[in-house]
Amino acid sequence: MNKNYGMEIVRATEIAALTAARIQGLGNHIDILNQAREAITKTLSRLNVCGHVVNDRFATSPDIRPLPETIGVGEQVTDLMAIALEAHHSAADGKNNATAYAVIGKRGSIQTLPNLGMYKIVVGPRIGKVVDINQSPTVNIKRCARALGKYTENMTVCVLNQPRHQQLIEEIRKCGARIKLIDEGEISGCLSAITGEKSDIYIGYGYAPEGALIAAAVGCMGGYFEGKIFYENDRDRAAAECHGITDFDKIFRLEDLIRSHEIAIAATGVTDGEFLEGVRFTPNGAITSSFIARAETHTYRKLETRHFFDYKPVF
């Protein structure tokens, strides 16, 4: 791609975040997700590309507004992944970590993944390739501590607060590391672990399609990612085969999920989160907190944007 599309897709994540923030806390998680999806689609539709939408986890959900198969008005063919509102239950409840995300990359650069669970481990560039998903959390935490020159007791591990993580949480406690529990929004937990802002490692089970977006963030910002898809039965394995996955023990790394340096990512906070602040409404507009990054340069920017609704007729 011959330009930094991060600058363009961030406008779409901003509009999705502003739209969702307007109805934050009203309790309707389907409506807030649909409104965010409509908003991100409308703004991405103005992009001068022909973006093939990939890894939409809600593509076949009957209540959820579909994203078009292709988005944009241009000729340059790209992959486009949009998570208009991660942690939509949190957004509907007015809780933390709701965020809008978009990734754009050269056509074929983003691996498509089935709607299955994926166990993930994510660290930032200061730690790098010392973790091994087949090792226990204790071994990985200690390896990361050594890489950072920190005591294990001063390491912070971000984990989704889900019953399935009980054993993981107990093991982390036993090895002496600190825990940062988040209710929803694993991507923001991973971004925070990549930059080392609020945690040092992210470990846990979430969805596989999110893994591609997290890998894109690692590709753009540095760090290390490993993910393993969790299969319960033959139907799951058949679903994976539709995406060309035939090795069911495969460890997915950055290069398996993102196959090009021509990739850019953007995100905007809806509610306050691990990595970004939520939308703050002002008397005549709103302030959004976003980030954009691209793999070619590894430059990442955090942006505070002031929106003036008198000049934004849509609001």
Binding site for ligand FBP (CB under 6 A): 86-89, 160, 162, 184-187, 206-207, 210
**Smallest separation (angstroms) from ligand FBP to the CB of 88:** 4
Q: How many residues does the chain have?
A: 315
Q: Which amino acid is at 162?
A: Q
Q: What end-to-end distance do the CA atoms of the chain give, in Å?
A: 32
* Helix H or strand E encompassing 5: none
Nearest to 40 by CA among 74, 12, 69: 12
**Smallest separation (angstroms) from ligand FBP to the CB of 190:** 9
Spatial distance between the Cα atoms of 16 and 290, rounded to a whole number of angstroms: 12
**Smallest separation (angstroms) from ligand FBP to the CB of 78:** 23
C-beta of 87 vs 177, nearer to ligand FBP = 87
Q: Would residue 207 be called left, alpha or beta, if left means φ above 0 and alpha means ψ between -120 and 50 degrees? A: beta
**Smallest separation (angstroms) from ligand FBP to the CB of 187:** 6
Report the residue number whose CB is nearest to ligand FBP. 206
- Phi, psi values for residue 311, rounded to 5°: -105, 5
C-beta of 8 vs 184, nearer to ligand FBP = 184
C-beta of 73 vs 181, nearer to ligand FBP = 181
52 alpha carbon, distance to own chain's centre: 18
* Cα within 13 Å of Cα(245), Cβ side: 24
**Smallest separation (angstroms) from ligand FBP to the CB of 225:** 14
Cα distances from 113 to residues 164, 252, 302, 309, in angstroms, run 22, 11, 29, 38
C-beta of 185 vs 219, nearer to ligand FBP = 185
* Sole residue written with tokens 């980030």: 291
C-beta of 32 vs 145, nearer to ligand FBP = 32
C-beta of 49 vs 169, nearer to ligand FBP = 169
Burial class from Cβ neighbours inside 10 Å (0-12, 13-18, 19+) for residue 244 reads exposed
**Smallest separation (angstroms) from ligand FBP to the CB of 83:** 6
